[in-house]
Amino acid sequence: MLKNYLLVAYRNLLRHKGFSFINIAGLALGITACLLIGLFVADELQYDRFMPDGERVYRVATQNSKNGELERVSFGSPMFAPTLQQELPEVEQAVRLMSLQSKLLFRSADGKLLYQEDGFVADPTVFSVLQVPFRYGTPAQALTDPRAIVLSEQMAEQFFGPGNPIGRELKLDTSTFRVTGVLQNQNLKFHLNMNFVTLLTPAAIGVPEARMKSWGWRQFQTYAKLRPGTDPAAVEAKFQRYLVDKVKPQLKSDQHLDYTVFLQPLHQVYLHSADFKINFIRHGNITYVRALGIIAGAILLIACFNFVNLATAKSMQRAKEVGIRKTIGASQRQLMLQFLAETLLLTLLSVVLATVLTGLLLPYLNVFTAKQMSFNLLQNPVLLAVLLGLTVLVGLGAGFYPALVLASFKPVKVLKSAVVTDGLFGRVQWLRHGLIVVQFALSVFLIVSAIVVFRQVAFLHNKDLGFNKDQIMFFPMRGDNMTRNYQAFQHELEQAPGVASASIGYGFPGDIFAGDGIEVPVNGEMKEFSVTQLLVDYHYVPTLGLKLVAGRNFSEAYKSDPGHAFIINETAVRVLGFPSPDKAVGQTMQWKVWNDRNPDSVKVGKVIGVVQDFNYKSLYDQVEPTVLQIFPEANWKVAVKLKGDVAAGVASVKQVWAKFSPDNPIEFRFMDDNFDEMYRAEDKLQTLLFAFTGVAIFVGCLGLFGLATYAAERRKKEIGIRKVLGADVLTIVGLLSKEFLVLVAVATLLAFPAAWLALSRWLQDFAYRIDMPLWAFAAAGLLAAAVAFLTVGYQAVRAATANPIKNLRVD
C-alpha cells in the first residue's frame, strides 16, 4: 500500500511539474532560511552552558538612577566579593576579575614580541567559580603566585607553539611571568574572552592597598556561587540591606554608595547585557535573537501557507480523480493517506534541497557573523532528528487540510462536472484568501522593518556628533621614555609632515572614560554631582574640533589652567544648575584629586569655558554632564589629527614613535573605525533583514504566481468569451488582478499597526533616533502591491493575449 501511495505521488509530481517546482522551491527556501537562522539562534543560546554548576553562579552587577534613567553597570566594588563570602553564609564562593582594557606587549625568551588583549587580573579561586576547562595545568594551583600567568590556547601557541608550555616564561615590561596553566577555551562559548589571566594584587593594578577597600570604586566583575537550594533574590536583598545598614553609615561622602546591587544569572549574562552602560565582555542581544527567531518562523509560515494555497487551488483539477476512486471503493481515510503521502514526499524533497542549500550557505554566514557553526548531520544526531521532525511536522501540518478537502469531495457531483461549492471545499477560497493575507502581512511587516532599520543605522553612522572624528588616529603611549617625555613627543608629532595637531590625555571619543564626582556650591553648600571626566591637554579641543559656546579653551598662556581651570559641556550647565553657558563661566568647582600620595587633596578652580555637547559615546547613550580638565598624571593615549594624504601622515607618526619608543611597535586605530564598530550589531541586523525580507517576498511571490496561473487556467473560457465580446487586454488584466490586490491591501492594513509597535519599541533603545518615517509604511504597501501586481499581471497578460479560439475549444 505504501509503495502504491509513493508511486502515485511520484507520478503526480511529474504530471504537474510547474506546481511541483514552485512548491518544492518555495518550501526549500523557507526551510533553508529557517535552518540558517535556527543555527545562529542555537549558537547564541549556548553561551556559558558548558560550565558545571553554572545554574548556581551569578554576576553581581549594580544599577542606579542617572539623569532620571535607570543605568545598569556590570562592574562593582573590590569589596563585593570578600563581603559576600564573609557576611553571607548562602554564598559558597565569590571572586573578582578586573579587565586590563588595553593591549599589552609580551616578550618570550626567544625574542618573540606580540601585543595581546583581553587580559584579566583575578582572585586565585576564580577558576573554582568560573570553571573554564584547562588543557594544561591545574585550576586550583594556577594563580597561587603573583608571577603566575594562565594563557589561552591561542596565545600559548603563538608564543610557544604546540605542546605543553607549563613553566615557560613571558616578560611584560620589567616583570617576568611563569606559565602555570593553559585554558581549553578555543571556540569556547564563554562571555569572558580570556586571553591571559594573572593574580589580582594591588601592585598588579597599580593602586595602594587602601583603595582595594573602596566601596565607591566600581571597576571589578564579581561572580558569586551560591550554595545548592539558595534563593538568589533573598541573597540579593540581604546583601543590599547589609550595604544600607552596615556599610553606608560608615562611609565618607566621596564613596558614592548611590547604587543598588542585583544578581544576574550566569546563563543570562551573554544575551541580556546589551543595555549595560559599561560592559567589557563578549555579549549578544536577546532582542535581535528573538527578532531573528520571529523572522525564521514568519518565513517558514509563508512557505507552508504557499503549500496549502497551491494544494487547495490544484485540488479542483483532481476532483474527478477523487470521484472515480471513491466510486470504485476507496475510503476517505485511504484518500487522505494518499494525499498526505504526496505532501510528505514534496516536503522530504524540499528538506533535502534545503539541507544542501544550508550546507552551501553556512560558510558565508560564519564569515558574516564571525562564528564557527557546523551543519554535520552525521556528527550531530540531534540536528538530524530536528530535520526529520521538521519534515513530518511541515508535511502533516501543511498537507492535512488539502488532503481533507480532496478526500471530502462527493463523487456524484464531481463526476457530473458540477462546480463544487458546498461543504468543506466551498470554504477553501476563504482559506486561500486568508493565507494570502497572512503571507503578505508578514512580508509588509518585514519590508517596513527593513526600511526603518536601514534609516536608523544610516542615522547612527552619519549623525553630526559634535566633533570631527575623521582622519584621527589614536594609540596608547608605550615605554618609560615616551611617558616621561610626553611633551617632547607631542611637540615632534605636531611638527611632523601630514600632522595637523596632537593631543595626549585620557578619555577620547569612542574609547574608555572616567566617571567621578564634581562639587559646586548650591545655596551656600557644596553639592556633589556625578559627571564624566575627560582628562585632557591644551590641544584636546582643537584636535577634535569641539565648538566653544562660551568662554575660552585651555591655554599655556594661563599658568593657572592645569591646577585651577575646568571646561564643561552644555548638559553640565543644565545639570549643575547654572543659568546659561555665559553665566557658567567663572563659577567655582572642586574635585577630589586622584592622588594616592595625598588622598584628601582637592582641586579648586573656575569654569573657563563651555563646549557644545558632543557624543563621545554611542548613540544608545544620552550626552552626560561632562567636565574637561588638565591632569597630566592620567595621560595615557595620544590622538593625532592627520591632514592631506593619510598614508603619508601615518608614516610620519611612525617615524616619531620609533624615535621615542624603538623597542615597542606602534599599534593604532582610527577614531571613525571605533564608532563604526559600536554599531556592528545593527549593521548585521540590517543586512540580515534585507536578505530574509527578500527571501520572504520571493517565496510569497512563488505562491502567488502559482495561484495566478491556476486562476487564469480556471477562467480561460470566461476570458475567451469576454475577448470575443470585445474586452481589451487591460480590462482582463484588471479583472484577474483585482482579487489579489484587494487581499494585499488588507494585508498591508493589518501589518502597519504591528510594525509600528515593534519598531517604536526597538527605537526606544537609542537615546538618539529617527522619527518613525510614515513614508516607509506607504512605500512598503506600494512595494507589496507592485510585487503582487507584477507577479499576477504576468499571468494575466498571458491569459488576456491568448487566442480565444483555443480557450473556447471544448476539452
Task: Express each pLDDT in 463-476 by its tens digit.
Answer: 889 999 999 999 99
Torsion-angle region of residue 190: left (phi > 0), alpha (psi -120 to 50) or beta?
beta
Confidence band of 104 (pLDDT split at 50, 70, 90): confident
Using CA atoms, how far residue 156 sits from 116, 127, 153, in Å, is 11, 18, 5
Of 665, 670, 669, nearest to 479 by C-alpha is 665
In angstroms, the Cα distances linking 81 to 78, 178, 292, 644 are 7, 27, 37, 52
Q: Can you give the pLDDT at residue 421?
A: 45
Q: Is 412 exposed, middle or buried (0-12, 13-18, 19+ CB in 10 A)?
A: exposed
C-alpha cell at 339: 494525499
Copy the grid coordinates of residue 445.
511587516
Strand, coil or helix: 719: helix
For the cut 50, the answer to whether the pLDDT of residue 422 exceeds it is no
pLDDT per residue as tens digits for the range 360-388: 999 999 888 888 888 887 777 888 888 88
Asked whether residue 319 carries a pLDDT value surpassing 70, the answer given is no
Question: Confidence class of residue 322 from pLDDT cuts 50, 70 and 90?
Answer: low
Residue with cell 558545571: 52
Parallel/antiparallel/unpaired status of strands 525-536 and 626-630 = parallel
Question: Residue 410: what pLDDT?
Answer: 63
For residues 277 and 282, give the distance between their C-alpha atoms in angstroms, rounded to a whole number. 14
- Dihedral in degrees, nearest 10, Cα atoms 204, 210, 216, 218: 10
3-state class (DSSP) for residue 645: coil
Distance CA 511, CA 192 (A): 19
Q: What pLDDT is attached to residue 651? A: 94
Q: Is 215 exposed, middle or buried (0-12, 13-18, 19+ CB in 10 A)?
A: buried
- The whole-number average pLDDT for the span 31-55 is 90
CA 716 distance to own-chain centroid: 52
Residues 6+ apart with CB under 8 A from 657: 482, 666
Q: Is the pLDDT of residue 270 over 60?
A: yes
Lowest mean pLDDT among 164-173, 321-330, 413-422, 487-496: 413-422
Work out the angle between the directed axes of helices 381-407 and 17-45 (0-180°, nearest 10).
140
The answer to whether the beta carbons of residues 486 and 635 sit under 8 Å apart is: yes
pLDDT exceeds 50 at position 347: yes
Can you give the pLDDT at residue 259? 82
More confident residue, 154 or 686: 154
Distance CA 116, CA 104 (A): 5
Residue type, 465: L
User: What does the pLDDT read at residue 492?
Assistant: 93
Residues 110-129 have a mean pLDDT of: 91
Q: How is residue 331 written as a grid cell?
A: 475510503
CB 608 within 8 A of CB 585: yes
Region for residue 75 given its phi and psi (left: phi exceeds 0; alpha: psi -120 to 50; beta: otherwise) = beta
Contact in structure between 27 and 346 (CB atoms under 8 Å): yes
Helix ranges (DSSP H) in 370-512: 381-407, 411-415, 423-426, 428-462, 480-484, 486-495
Residues 750-775, mean pLDDT to the nearest whole number:
90
Specify the range with the lowest mean pLDDT, choosing from 50-54, 641-645, 701-705, 746-750: 701-705
Most confident range, picked from 191-200, 211-220, 237-246, 614-623: 191-200
Rounded to an integer, what is the distance from CA 765 to the centroid of its chain? Answer: 12
Residue found by looking up cell 571589578 in the block:
220
Region of poorest pLDDT, from 86-95, 130-139, 289-298, 486-495: 289-298
User: What is the b/e burial string over 370-405, where b = at least 16 CB atoms within 10 angstroms of the residue's CB?
Assistant: ebeeebeeeeeeebeebbeebbeebbeebbebbbbb
Neighbouring residues of 154: CB distance < 8 A, sequence distance ≥ 6? 186, 195
Give the integer Cα–Cα distance in Å for 127 and 53: 12
Q: Compute the average pLDDT of residues 589-615.
A: 83
In this predicted structure, the answer to whether residue 135 has a pLDDT above a threshold of 80 is yes
Q: H-helix or E-strand containing 148?
A: strand 148-152
pLDDT at 91: 94
Spatial contact of 555 and 538, defined as CB atoms under 8 Å apart: yes
**Pick from 441, 617, 642, 433: nearest CA to 534:** 617
pLDDT value, residue 344: 80
809 has a pLDDT exceeding 70: no
Binning pLDDT at 50, 70 and 90, where does residue 153 land? very high
718-749 per-residue burial string, b: 16 or more CB within 10 A, e: under 16: ebbebbeeeeeeeebbebbbeebbebbbbbbe
**Which range (2-11, 122-131, 461-470, 563-572) has the least confidence?**
2-11
Question: How far apart, in whole angstroms, are the C-alpha atoms of residue 736 and residue 324?
Answer: 32
Lowest mean pLDDT across 94-103, 372-381, 394-403: 394-403
For 536-575, the DSSP string reads: E-TTHHHHHT--EEEE----TT-TTHHHHEEEEEHHHHHH
Selection from 256-260, 337-341, 470-474 with the highest mean pLDDT: 470-474
Crossing angle of the two packed helices 381-407 and 286-315, in degrees rounded to 10: 30
Q: What is the pLDDT of residues 667-718, one digit of tens each?
A: 899 999 888 888 888 888 888 888 888 888 887 777 677 666 666 666 667 7
Are 284 and 44 in contact by the 8 Å Cβ rule? The answer is yes
Mean pLDDT for the stretch of residues 133-150: 92
Q: Which residues of 455-486 are buried (b: 16+ CB within 10 A; e: fewer)?
A: bbbeebeeeebbbbbebbbbbbbbbebbeeeb
Give residue 423's pLDDT: 43
Place 551 in a pLDDT band, splitting at 50, 70 and 90.
very high
pLDDT at 489: 94
pLDDT in tens, 643-654: 989 999 999 999
Average pLDDT over residues 266-275: 89
Other CB atoms within a 10 A radius of the CB of residue 764 amount to 9
At residue 664, the 3 state secondary structure works out as coil
Q: What is the pLDDT of residue 97?
A: 93
Write a three-state SS string for 759-774: HHHHHCCCCCCCCCCH
Looking at the chain, the number of H-run helices and the number of E-run strands are 28, 24
Closest CA to 608 of 512, 541, 543, 545: 541
Q: Is the pLDDT of residue 13 over 70?
A: no
**Residue at grid coordinates 571572586:** 95
Q: At 179, which amino acid appears?
A: V
